[in-house]
Amino acid sequence: MRSLLRFVALLVAGLLFAIPAAAQDEKKEEKKDKPADPLEAMIGKPAPDFEGDFAVNGKPVKLSDLKGKVVLVDFWAVWCGPCIATFPHLREWHKEYKEKGLEIVGVTMYNCELNRHYGFDNEAGKVTRIEKQTKEGEQEMLKQFAEHHKLDHLLMTLPQEKLRKAFEEYHVRGIPHVVLVDREGIVQLVKVGAGEANARAIETKIRELLAP
């Protein structure tokens, strides 16, 4: 009888030990099967190239042309409230770090190609819906928008197909979407959304990448 009880006790103890171990193995398998965060997966890899067709505060460039500088790529839009909320930081960083090797490149779209038609009301200082807009009209509107918001960094538009490709390659699902690229053209940081926590993280990384 005692032998039987001892056997049962050993069996129960073995089962209690095996259950957590099995659960741990299952968690490891789940972690292994779970797809990697596409934004995290970009870090340490070459930044996909793109080229604008129109620019404010400079000429359209290829991203690869800026190799040798630390580049902050900012995917944004004129109608995006959180994007506008980041402008004070962008102005500050442009002023503080441009001479040290930082290039800020704001990348935006032609809204008229997406059947969204905007103009800029200079008196109200805001974007307004209009009946019809053209690419040329939107370029002029972007100049007015940049002047009103005192944006001195490079702003570029990408035509629809190039924009779609850039959004896919940079995994843009929401804006503002910021990508920091080092002097060798390698992605070092990706942040989505406005907010002081993101701003602090971005500036900390800018300083790190600009350090001699």
Report pLDDT for 33.
54
The residue written with tokens 């095996």 in the block is 18
The residue written with tokens 């702003």 in the block is 155
Report pLDDT for 19.
43
Report pLDDT for 175.
98
The residue written with tokens 């400079």 in the block is 58
For the chain, the average pLDDT equals: 89
How far is residue 117's CA from residue 15's CA, in Å, rounded to a whole number?
66
Report pLDDT for 34.
55
The overall pTM is greater than 0.75: yes
Report pLDDT for 36.
80
Report pLDDT for 57.
98
Q: Which residues of the chain have pLDDT under 70?
A: 1-35
